[in-house]
């Protein structure tokens, strides 16, 4: 399938709401022939989604701020210019250090974007995290995501 070039400048992109972040679609699967997706994530300090597993691999690249990422029981400290990969099926979550963090999330296929769009529809913006997590159960199940008990970073 042939795709056309897609430009997304600063401040552009579809904004999606997530319980622990604002997600801006910079390059969706519809722009890449389904090959990959790129998201800009703006996450404030506060609780993040509990430890979970996704069936897709992803990578994070920090633009500004600091965050701890927990992957397979290992804690990684990330700051501007740092990146980390999260293998499919690995239990993971993140915690924001400081007022906020902004990072890029990259994923192959369109699975992550479909999940973010579903979350945006299922959980109204501003829903408290505890209530949001309860609403996320059926959404997560539809996308093959499982919640995992355990420590947070």
Q: Which of 36-50, 54-68, 132-146 has the highest mean pLDDT?
A: 54-68
For the chain, give the percent of residues with pLDDT over 70.
95
Lowest mean per-residue pLDDT among 35-39, 45-49, 59-63, 77-81 = 45-49
Q: What's the mean pLDDT when you consider all of the chain?
A: 90
| Total Cβ atoms within 10 A of residue 7 | 8
- Cα separations in angstroms, 36 against 30, 32, 49, 88, 143: 9, 6, 23, 15, 17
Strand-pairing partners, residue 64, are 102
Residues 41 and 143 sit within 8 Å (Cβ to Cβ): no
pLDDT at position 131, please? 83
State the maximum Cα–Cα separation within the chain, in Å, rounded to a whole number.
44
- Residue 13's SS3 state is coil
DSSP 100-139: EEEEEEEEESSHHHHHHHHHHHHS-TT--HHHHHHHHHHH
**pLDDT tens profile 41-59:** 999 997 677 899 999 999 9
Mean pLDDT value of segment 4-29: 88
Which pLDDT value is given to residue 48? 76
């Amino acid at each position: 399938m042939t795709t056309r070039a897609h430009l997304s400048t600063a401040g552009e992109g579809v904004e999606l709401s997530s319980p622990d972040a604002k997600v801006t679609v910079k390059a969706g699967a519809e722009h890449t022939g389904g090959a990959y997706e790129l998201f800009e994530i703006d996450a404030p300090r506060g609780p993040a989604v509990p430890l979970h597993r996704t069936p897709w691999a992803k990578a994070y690249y920090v633009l500004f701020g600091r965050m701890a990422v927990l992957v397979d029981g290992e804690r990684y400290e990330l700051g501007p210019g740092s990146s980390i990969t999260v293998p499919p099926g690995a239990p993971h979550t993140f915690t924001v250090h400081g007022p906020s963090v902004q990072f890029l999330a990259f994923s192959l296929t369109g699975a992550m974007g479909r999940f973010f769009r579903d979350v945006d529809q299922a959980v109204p913006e501003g829903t408290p995290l505890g209530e949001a997590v309860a609403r996320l159960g059926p959404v997560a199940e539809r996308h093959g995501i499982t919640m995992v008990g355990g420590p947070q970073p």
